[in-house]
A = this chain, B = another copy of it.
Amino acid sequence: MLLTGSVVVDPRTVLRDGAIVTEGPRIERVGKRSEIAPQYTDHEHQSYDILLPGLVGGHIHSVQSLGRGIADNTELLDWLFDYILPMEASLSAREMEVAAKLGYLEMIESGTTTCIDHLSVAHADEAFEAAGEIGIRGVLGKVMMDQRSPDGLLEDTQEALDMSERLIQKYHGSFDDRIRYAVTPRFAVSCTEDCLRGARELADAYDGVRIHTHANENRSEIKTIKNDTGMRNIHWLNEVGLTGKDVVLAHCVWTDESEREVLAETGTHVTHCPSSNMKLASGIAPIWDYLNRGINVALGNDGPPCNNTLDAFTEMRQASLLQKVDRLDPTTTPPARIFEMATLNGAKAAGFDELGAIREGWRADIVGLSTDCTRATPLHDILSHIVFAAHGDDVRFTMVDGTVLQEKGKMTAIDAEAVRQRASEIGLDMDLEEERRSAQQQKPIED
Protein backbone atom coordinates (compact mmCIF):
# COMPACT_ATOMS: atom_id res chain seq x y z
CA MET A 1 0.00 0.00 0.00
CA LEU A 2 1.21 3.52 -0.79
CA LEU A 3 0.52 6.22 1.77
CA THR A 4 1.41 9.83 1.10
CA GLY A 5 1.30 12.71 3.51
CA SER A 6 1.90 16.43 3.49
CA VAL A 7 4.07 15.55 6.44
CA VAL A 8 5.40 12.21 7.65
CA VAL A 9 6.50 12.60 11.23
CA ASP A 10 7.97 10.40 13.92
CA PRO A 11 9.91 11.17 17.08
CA ARG A 12 13.13 11.60 15.12
CA THR A 13 12.14 13.04 11.75
CA VAL A 14 9.79 15.51 10.11
CA LEU A 15 9.58 14.73 6.39
CA ARG A 16 7.60 17.12 4.17
CA ASP A 17 5.74 15.66 1.17
CA GLY A 18 6.55 12.17 2.25
CA ALA A 19 5.50 8.70 1.23
CA ILE A 20 5.39 5.34 2.96
CA VAL A 21 5.07 2.00 1.20
CA THR A 22 3.87 -0.93 3.27
CA GLU A 23 4.27 -4.55 2.26
CA GLY A 24 2.46 -7.05 4.43
CA PRO A 25 2.96 -6.17 8.09
CA ARG A 26 6.08 -4.06 7.52
CA ILE A 27 7.12 -0.67 6.17
CA GLU A 28 9.01 -1.25 2.95
CA ARG A 29 10.00 2.27 2.00
CA VAL A 30 9.94 5.78 3.41
CA GLY A 31 10.99 8.90 1.52
CA LYS A 32 10.00 11.88 -0.54
CA ARG A 33 6.73 11.46 -2.35
CA SER A 34 8.21 12.70 -5.59
CA GLU A 35 10.78 9.90 -5.59
CA ILE A 36 8.72 7.04 -4.26
CA ALA A 37 5.16 7.49 -5.50
CA PRO A 38 5.98 7.04 -9.22
CA GLN A 39 7.50 3.61 -8.49
CA TYR A 40 4.36 2.28 -6.83
CA THR A 41 1.56 3.38 -9.12
CA ASP A 42 0.17 -0.16 -9.04
CA HIS A 43 -0.31 0.01 -5.24
CA GLU A 44 -3.48 1.11 -3.51
CA HIS A 45 -2.87 4.76 -2.65
CA GLN A 46 -4.28 6.90 0.14
CA SER A 47 -3.24 10.38 1.20
CA TYR A 48 -3.51 12.15 4.55
CA ASP A 49 -2.31 15.48 5.93
CA ILE A 50 -0.05 13.99 8.60
CA LEU A 51 1.18 10.41 8.81
CA LEU A 52 2.60 9.32 12.16
CA PRO A 53 3.39 6.11 13.99
CA GLY A 54 0.43 4.59 15.79
CA LEU A 55 0.29 5.68 19.42
CA VAL A 56 0.84 3.29 22.31
CA GLY A 57 -1.46 3.24 25.32
CA GLY A 58 0.95 2.11 27.98
CA HIS A 59 -1.69 1.45 30.63
CA ILE A 60 -5.31 0.88 29.60
CA HIS A 61 -8.38 -0.75 31.14
CA SER A 62 -10.43 -1.42 28.02
CA VAL A 63 -12.96 -3.56 29.88
CA GLN A 64 -13.87 -0.66 32.17
CA SER A 65 -15.33 1.17 29.16
CA LEU A 66 -18.94 0.52 30.15
CA GLY A 67 -18.32 2.54 33.31
CA ARG A 68 -17.39 5.78 31.55
CA GLY A 69 -18.85 8.55 33.71
CA ILE A 70 -20.39 6.36 36.41
CA ALA A 71 -18.10 7.32 39.26
CA ASP A 72 -16.88 10.87 38.80
CA ASN A 73 -15.89 13.10 41.72
CA THR A 74 -15.67 10.30 44.24
CA GLU A 75 -12.93 9.43 46.71
CA LEU A 76 -10.59 6.74 45.40
CA LEU A 77 -11.82 3.97 47.72
CA ASP A 78 -15.48 4.81 46.97
CA TRP A 79 -14.60 4.93 43.29
CA LEU A 80 -13.03 1.48 43.48
CA PHE A 81 -15.29 -0.37 45.92
CA ASP A 82 -18.65 1.26 45.13
CA TYR A 83 -18.33 1.32 41.36
CA ILE A 84 -15.35 -0.17 39.56
CA LEU A 85 -14.87 -3.50 41.33
CA PRO A 86 -18.65 -4.14 41.50
CA MET A 87 -18.87 -3.39 37.79
CA GLU A 88 -16.03 -5.77 36.95
CA ALA A 89 -17.61 -8.45 39.15
CA SER A 90 -21.01 -8.02 37.55
CA LEU A 91 -20.12 -8.37 33.89
CA SER A 92 -20.92 -11.60 32.09
CA ALA A 93 -18.61 -13.03 29.45
CA ARG A 94 -20.75 -11.53 26.70
CA GLU A 95 -20.80 -8.14 28.41
CA MET A 96 -17.05 -8.20 28.96
CA GLU A 97 -16.60 -8.82 25.25
CA VAL A 98 -18.66 -5.73 24.43
CA ALA A 99 -16.77 -3.67 27.03
CA ALA A 100 -13.44 -4.68 25.50
CA LYS A 101 -14.66 -4.03 21.96
CA LEU A 102 -15.82 -0.56 22.95
CA GLY A 103 -12.38 0.18 24.33
CA TYR A 104 -10.54 -1.15 21.27
CA LEU A 105 -12.92 0.74 19.00
CA GLU A 106 -12.27 4.02 20.79
CA MET A 107 -8.51 3.51 20.63
CA ILE A 108 -8.42 2.57 16.95
CA GLU A 109 -10.67 5.50 16.05
CA SER A 110 -8.47 7.94 17.93
CA GLY A 111 -5.04 6.71 16.86
CA THR A 112 -3.90 4.23 19.50
CA THR A 113 -2.66 1.10 17.75
CA THR A 114 -1.04 -0.73 20.68
CA CYS A 115 -2.31 -1.10 24.22
CA ILE A 116 -0.95 -2.61 27.38
CA ASP A 117 -4.30 -3.70 28.66
CA HIS A 118 -5.27 -4.53 32.23
CA LEU A 119 -8.33 -6.79 31.87
CA SER A 120 -10.42 -8.13 34.74
CA VAL A 121 -10.33 -11.31 36.81
CA ALA A 122 -12.84 -13.25 34.73
CA HIS A 123 -13.69 -13.55 31.04
CA ALA A 124 -10.25 -12.58 29.78
CA ASP A 125 -10.69 -14.89 26.77
CA GLU A 126 -13.39 -12.60 25.43
CA ALA A 127 -11.06 -9.60 25.45
CA PHE A 128 -8.22 -11.53 23.80
CA GLU A 129 -10.55 -12.74 21.07
CA ALA A 130 -11.94 -9.24 20.59
CA ALA A 131 -8.50 -7.64 20.32
CA GLY A 132 -7.36 -10.33 17.94
CA GLU A 133 -10.42 -10.09 15.77
CA ILE A 134 -10.61 -6.27 15.63
CA GLY A 135 -6.93 -5.90 14.82
CA ILE A 136 -5.38 -3.76 17.55
CA ARG A 137 -1.90 -4.67 18.80
CA GLY A 138 -1.92 -5.50 22.47
CA VAL A 139 -0.21 -6.87 25.51
CA LEU A 140 -3.16 -8.09 27.51
CA GLY A 141 -3.42 -9.73 30.88
CA LYS A 142 -6.05 -11.29 33.06
CA VAL A 143 -6.06 -9.54 36.45
CA MET A 144 -5.06 -11.55 39.51
CA MET A 145 -6.57 -10.75 42.94
CA ASP A 146 -6.06 -13.27 45.72
CA GLN A 147 -6.47 -11.16 48.86
CA ARG A 148 -8.42 -8.13 50.13
CA SER A 149 -10.84 -8.44 47.24
CA PRO A 150 -14.63 -8.61 46.99
CA ASP A 151 -16.60 -11.76 46.19
CA GLY A 152 -16.84 -12.27 42.49
CA LEU A 153 -13.25 -11.12 42.05
CA LEU A 154 -11.32 -12.85 44.87
CA GLU A 155 -9.49 -15.93 43.62
CA ASP A 156 -7.47 -18.76 45.01
CA THR A 157 -3.77 -18.08 44.41
CA GLN A 158 -3.05 -21.20 42.42
CA GLU A 159 -6.24 -20.77 40.43
CA ALA A 160 -5.17 -17.23 39.47
CA LEU A 161 -1.76 -18.42 38.35
CA ASP A 162 -3.13 -21.45 36.54
CA MET A 163 -5.65 -19.38 34.64
CA SER A 164 -2.89 -16.94 33.69
CA GLU A 165 -0.75 -19.80 32.42
CA ARG A 166 -3.64 -21.22 30.41
CA LEU A 167 -4.13 -17.79 28.79
CA ILE A 168 -0.41 -17.46 28.05
CA GLN A 169 -0.47 -20.81 26.29
CA LYS A 170 -3.60 -19.90 24.36
CA TYR A 171 -2.91 -16.28 23.41
CA HIS A 172 0.72 -15.23 23.88
CA GLY A 173 2.06 -14.72 20.37
CA SER A 174 -1.33 -15.29 18.78
CA PHE A 175 -2.81 -13.47 15.79
CA ASP A 176 0.57 -13.38 14.03
CA ASP A 177 2.27 -12.33 17.27
CA ARG A 178 0.15 -9.15 17.37
CA ILE A 179 -1.31 -10.24 20.71
CA ARG A 180 0.96 -10.99 23.62
CA TYR A 181 0.55 -11.66 27.32
CA ALA A 182 1.40 -9.69 30.45
CA VAL A 183 1.01 -11.38 33.81
CA THR A 184 -1.16 -8.85 35.63
CA PRO A 185 -1.44 -8.75 39.41
CA ARG A 186 -3.92 -5.91 40.17
CA PHE A 187 -1.57 -4.32 42.68
CA ALA A 188 0.44 -5.51 45.66
CA VAL A 189 -2.41 -4.69 48.06
CA SER A 190 -4.72 -7.26 46.52
CA CYS A 191 -2.11 -9.96 45.89
CA THR A 192 -0.34 -12.34 48.25
CA GLU A 193 3.41 -12.82 48.18
CA ASP A 194 2.87 -16.22 46.56
CA CYS A 195 0.83 -14.64 43.82
CA LEU A 196 3.45 -11.95 43.13
CA ARG A 197 6.31 -14.43 43.12
CA GLY A 198 4.24 -16.72 40.93
CA ALA A 199 3.81 -13.87 38.45
CA ARG A 200 7.57 -13.59 38.10
CA GLU A 201 7.92 -17.35 37.63
CA LEU A 202 5.32 -17.35 34.87
CA ALA A 203 6.99 -14.44 33.08
CA ASP A 204 10.33 -16.20 33.25
CA ALA A 205 8.88 -19.48 31.97
CA TYR A 206 7.55 -18.04 28.72
CA ASP A 207 9.67 -16.03 26.34
CA GLY A 208 8.45 -12.47 25.83
CA VAL A 209 5.71 -12.55 28.46
CA ARG A 210 5.64 -9.29 30.42
CA ILE A 211 4.47 -8.23 33.86
CA HIS A 212 2.05 -5.31 34.24
CA THR A 213 0.71 -3.92 37.49
CA HIS A 214 -0.18 -0.69 39.32
CA ALA A 215 2.38 0.77 41.68
CA ASN A 216 2.61 3.76 43.99
CA GLU A 217 -0.55 5.37 42.67
CA ASN A 218 -1.62 6.73 46.04
CA ARG A 219 -0.34 7.04 49.55
CA SER A 220 -2.77 4.71 51.30
CA GLU A 221 -1.59 1.90 49.01
CA ILE A 222 2.00 2.58 50.03
CA LYS A 223 1.05 2.66 53.71
CA THR A 224 -0.77 -0.66 53.43
CA ILE A 225 2.25 -2.35 51.87
CA LYS A 226 4.53 -0.83 54.48
CA ASN A 227 2.29 -2.30 57.17
CA ASP A 228 2.22 -5.68 55.44
CA THR A 229 5.90 -5.98 54.56
CA GLY A 230 7.86 -3.26 56.35
CA MET A 231 8.99 -1.99 52.95
CA ARG A 232 8.14 0.80 50.55
CA ASN A 233 6.09 -0.59 47.65
CA ILE A 234 8.77 -0.55 44.93
CA HIS A 235 11.21 -2.28 47.28
CA TRP A 236 8.58 -4.92 47.97
CA LEU A 237 7.94 -5.41 44.27
CA ASN A 238 11.68 -5.65 43.71
CA GLU A 239 11.95 -8.19 46.55
CA VAL A 240 9.36 -10.49 44.96
CA GLY A 241 10.77 -10.08 41.45
CA LEU A 242 8.35 -7.56 39.97
CA THR A 243 10.92 -5.12 38.62
CA GLY A 244 13.04 -5.39 35.52
CA LYS A 245 13.11 -4.86 31.78
CA ASP A 246 9.97 -6.94 31.31
CA VAL A 247 7.92 -5.07 33.94
CA VAL A 248 5.53 -2.16 33.33
CA LEU A 249 4.42 -0.26 36.42
CA ALA A 250 1.49 2.10 35.98
CA HIS A 251 1.48 5.46 37.80
CA CYS A 252 4.52 5.63 40.15
CA VAL A 253 3.19 8.94 41.49
CA TRP A 254 4.69 8.68 44.97
CA THR A 255 8.22 7.30 44.96
CA ASP A 256 11.14 8.17 47.17
CA GLU A 257 14.76 8.52 46.08
CA SER A 258 15.62 4.90 46.86
CA GLU A 259 12.65 3.60 44.88
CA ARG A 260 13.59 5.71 41.86
CA GLU A 261 17.06 4.23 42.00
CA VAL A 262 15.54 0.75 41.90
CA LEU A 263 13.40 1.66 38.89
CA ALA A 264 16.41 3.05 37.03
CA GLU A 265 18.82 0.25 37.95
CA THR A 266 16.41 -2.54 37.04
CA GLY A 267 15.26 -0.99 33.76
CA THR A 268 11.63 -1.14 34.90
CA HIS A 269 9.18 0.73 32.65
CA VAL A 270 6.83 3.35 34.07
CA THR A 271 3.54 4.34 32.47
CA HIS A 272 2.42 7.86 33.30
CA CYS A 273 -1.35 8.44 33.31
CA PRO A 274 -1.70 12.18 33.91
CA SER A 275 -5.46 12.57 33.42
CA SER A 276 -6.22 9.66 35.71
CA ASN A 277 -3.80 10.93 38.36
CA MET A 278 -5.50 14.32 38.20
CA LYS A 279 -9.11 13.12 38.15
CA LEU A 280 -8.61 10.66 41.01
CA ALA A 281 -6.47 13.27 42.76
CA SER A 282 -3.65 10.78 43.13
CA GLY A 283 -0.92 13.38 42.69
CA ILE A 284 1.64 14.52 40.12
CA ALA A 285 4.22 11.93 39.09
CA PRO A 286 7.83 13.24 38.83
CA ILE A 287 8.14 12.33 35.16
CA TRP A 288 10.92 14.82 34.39
CA ASP A 289 13.00 13.20 37.11
CA TYR A 290 12.31 9.69 35.78
CA LEU A 291 13.28 10.77 32.26
CA ASN A 292 16.47 12.39 33.53
CA ARG A 293 17.39 9.16 35.29
CA GLY A 294 16.96 7.27 32.03
CA ILE A 295 13.82 5.45 33.16
CA ASN A 296 11.64 4.55 30.18
CA VAL A 297 8.32 6.40 30.62
CA ALA A 298 5.29 5.59 28.47
CA LEU A 299 1.88 7.28 28.50
CA GLY A 300 -1.53 5.80 29.22
CA ASN A 301 -5.16 6.87 29.50
CA ASP A 302 -5.95 4.33 32.23
CA GLY A 303 -9.69 3.52 32.02
CA PRO A 304 -12.72 5.49 30.87
CA PRO A 305 -14.13 5.77 34.42
CA CYS A 306 -11.10 7.83 35.48
CA ASN A 307 -10.34 9.81 32.36
CA ASN A 308 -13.07 9.69 30.66
CA THR A 309 -11.69 8.89 27.22
CA LEU A 310 -9.05 6.70 25.62
CA ASP A 311 -7.80 9.51 23.39
CA ALA A 312 -3.99 9.43 23.48
CA PHE A 313 -3.72 12.97 22.06
CA THR A 314 -5.48 14.29 25.16
CA GLU A 315 -2.96 12.41 27.28
CA MET A 316 0.03 13.83 25.40
CA ARG A 317 -1.23 17.37 25.94
CA GLN A 318 -1.98 16.67 29.58
CA ALA A 319 1.41 15.10 30.26
CA SER A 320 3.29 18.10 28.90
CA LEU A 321 1.14 20.75 30.58
CA LEU A 322 1.15 19.01 33.94
CA GLN A 323 4.94 18.71 34.13
CA LYS A 324 5.38 22.33 33.06
CA VAL A 325 3.17 23.70 35.81
CA ASP A 326 4.48 21.26 38.41
CA ARG A 327 8.07 22.32 37.79
CA LEU A 328 7.15 25.95 37.04
CA ASP A 329 9.28 25.49 33.94
CA PRO A 330 7.69 26.06 30.51
CA THR A 331 10.64 24.45 28.72
CA THR A 332 10.24 21.00 30.29
CA THR A 333 8.69 18.00 28.47
CA PRO A 334 8.45 19.68 25.04
CA PRO A 335 6.35 18.06 22.28
CA ALA A 336 9.20 15.98 20.82
CA ARG A 337 9.82 14.35 24.19
CA ILE A 338 6.12 13.75 24.80
CA PHE A 339 5.58 12.32 21.32
CA GLU A 340 8.45 9.93 21.94
CA MET A 341 6.81 8.79 25.19
CA ALA A 342 3.58 8.03 23.32
CA THR A 343 5.35 6.10 20.54
CA LEU A 344 8.89 4.72 20.98
CA ASN A 345 8.79 4.58 24.78
CA GLY A 346 5.39 2.93 24.72
CA ALA A 347 6.61 0.35 22.20
CA LYS A 348 9.62 -0.35 24.40
CA ALA A 349 7.38 -0.82 27.45
CA ALA A 350 5.13 -3.14 25.47
CA GLY A 351 8.16 -5.13 24.37
CA PHE A 352 7.62 -4.89 20.62
CA ASP A 353 10.81 -4.10 18.78
CA GLU A 354 10.84 -2.12 15.52
CA LEU A 355 7.71 -0.26 16.60
CA GLY A 356 6.95 3.41 17.31
CA ALA A 357 8.63 5.16 14.41
CA ILE A 358 8.26 5.34 10.62
CA ARG A 359 11.31 3.41 9.39
CA GLU A 360 11.99 0.98 6.60
CA GLY A 361 11.66 -2.59 7.86
CA TRP A 362 9.71 -1.53 10.96
CA ARG A 363 6.18 -2.62 11.78
CA ALA A 364 3.49 -0.91 9.71
CA ASP A 365 1.45 0.64 12.54
CA ILE A 366 0.52 3.99 11.04
CA VAL A 367 -2.02 6.72 11.74
CA GLY A 368 -3.27 9.43 9.38
CA LEU A 369 -4.45 12.79 10.74
CA SER A 370 -6.49 15.50 9.11
CA THR A 371 -5.41 19.10 9.64
CA ASP A 372 -8.48 20.48 7.91
CA CYS A 373 -9.70 22.31 11.00
CA THR A 374 -9.35 25.70 12.60
CA ARG A 375 -7.34 24.24 15.49
CA ALA A 376 -4.64 23.41 12.94
CA THR A 377 -4.52 26.92 11.46
CA PRO A 378 -1.91 28.23 10.97
CA LEU A 379 0.20 25.11 11.20
CA HIS A 380 3.52 26.56 12.36
CA ASP A 381 4.91 23.45 14.03
CA ILE A 382 3.84 19.86 13.41
CA LEU A 383 4.94 18.42 16.75
CA SER A 384 3.38 21.28 18.65
CA HIS A 385 0.14 20.69 16.76
CA ILE A 386 0.17 16.96 17.46
CA VAL A 387 0.78 17.36 21.18
CA PHE A 388 -1.07 20.58 22.04
CA ALA A 389 -3.91 20.97 19.54
CA ALA A 390 -4.68 17.72 17.74
CA HIS A 391 -7.35 15.39 18.98
CA GLY A 392 -8.42 11.81 18.43
CA ASP A 393 -11.26 13.11 16.27
CA ASP A 394 -8.67 14.22 13.71
CA VAL A 395 -7.60 10.62 13.07
CA ARG A 396 -8.84 9.41 9.69
CA PHE A 397 -6.65 6.40 9.08
CA THR A 398 -5.40 3.60 11.32
CA MET A 399 -3.22 0.71 10.21
CA VAL A 400 -1.84 -2.08 12.40
CA ASP A 401 0.61 -4.66 11.09
CA GLY A 402 -0.11 -3.42 7.58
CA THR A 403 -3.86 -4.02 7.92
CA VAL A 404 -6.18 -1.03 7.50
CA LEU A 405 -8.56 -0.71 10.46
CA GLN A 406 -9.90 2.77 9.66
CA GLU A 407 -9.73 4.70 6.40
CA LYS A 408 -11.06 8.10 5.37
CA GLY A 409 -12.59 8.38 8.85
CA LYS A 410 -14.60 5.15 8.61
CA MET A 411 -13.93 2.06 10.70
CA THR A 412 -13.33 -0.95 8.50
CA ALA A 413 -12.31 -3.35 11.28
CA ILE A 414 -15.58 -3.45 13.15
CA ASP A 415 -19.18 -2.28 12.98
CA ALA A 416 -18.72 0.75 15.21
CA GLU A 417 -22.40 1.64 15.39
CA ALA A 418 -23.37 -1.86 16.50
CA VAL A 419 -20.72 -1.92 19.23
CA ARG A 420 -21.77 1.48 20.55
CA GLN A 421 -25.42 0.52 20.59
CA ARG A 422 -24.82 -2.74 22.42
CA ALA A 423 -22.46 -0.97 24.87
CA SER A 424 -25.10 1.64 25.64
CA GLU A 425 -27.74 -0.99 26.28
CA ILE A 426 -25.55 -2.96 28.65
CA GLY A 427 -23.87 0.03 30.27
CA LEU A 428 -27.03 1.94 31.06
CA ASP A 429 -28.71 -1.20 32.32
CA MET A 430 -26.00 -2.28 34.77
CA ASP A 431 -27.34 -3.05 38.23
CA LEU A 432 -24.45 -3.12 40.67
CA GLU A 433 -26.35 -3.25 43.96
CA GLU A 434 -25.55 -6.84 44.88
CA GLU A 435 -21.89 -6.65 43.86
CA ARG A 436 -21.59 -3.30 45.64
CA ARG A 437 -22.83 -4.71 48.93
CA SER A 438 -20.26 -7.48 48.67
CA ALA A 439 -17.43 -5.17 47.64
CA GLN A 440 -18.13 -2.72 50.41
CA GLN A 441 -17.39 -5.40 53.00
CA GLN A 442 -13.80 -5.42 51.72
CA LYS A 443 -13.44 -1.66 51.64
CA PRO A 444 -10.56 -0.50 53.84
CA ILE A 445 -11.37 2.16 56.42
CA GLU A 446 -9.33 5.23 55.61
CA ASP A 447 -7.43 6.75 58.47
A75 contacts B by Cβ under 8 Å: yes
Quick one: which of A358-399 are within 8 Å of B by CB?
373-375, 377-381, 384-385, 388-389, 391-393
Interface 1/0 per residue, A265-287 and B, CB below 8 Å:
00000000001011111111000
Contact A331–B75 (Cβ < 8 Å): yes
Contact B68–A324 (Cβ < 8 Å): no
Q: Given contact pairs A106-B374, A282-B325, enumerate 15 new A-B contacts (beta carbons under 8 Å).
A: A68-B389, A69-B380, A72-B388, A76-B330, A102-B377, A278-B324, A279-B320, A281-B328, A308-B384, A308-B385, A309-B375, A378-B423, A378-B428, A379-B428, A393-B393
A74 contacts B by Cβ under 8 Å: yes
Residues of B within 8 A of A72 (CB): 334-335, 381, 384, 388
A134 contacts B by Cβ under 8 Å: no
Contact A321–B275 (Cβ < 8 Å): yes
List 16 A-B residue pairs with CB atoms under 8 Å apart, sorted by A's residue number.
A68-B377, A69-B381, A72-B335, A72-B384, A73-B335, A74-B330, A102-B374, A279-B388, A281-B327, A281-B329, A282-B325, A283-B325, A283-B328, A308-B384, A378-B423, A378-B428
Residue of B whose beta carbon sits closest to that of A275:
B321
A291 contacts B by Cβ under 8 Å: no
Residues of B within 8 A of A307 (CB): 388
A262 contacts B by Cβ under 8 Å: no
Total identical chains: 2
Q: Which one of B68, B330, B335 lies within 8 Å of A378 (CB-CB)?
A: B68
Quick one: which of A298-354 are within 8 Å of B by CB?
307-309, 311, 318, 320-322, 324-325, 327-332, 334-335
Is chain A's interface secondary structure helix, strand, loop, or mixed overall? helix
Residues of B within 8 A of A311 (CB): 375
Residue of B whose beta carbon sits closest to that of A385:
B69
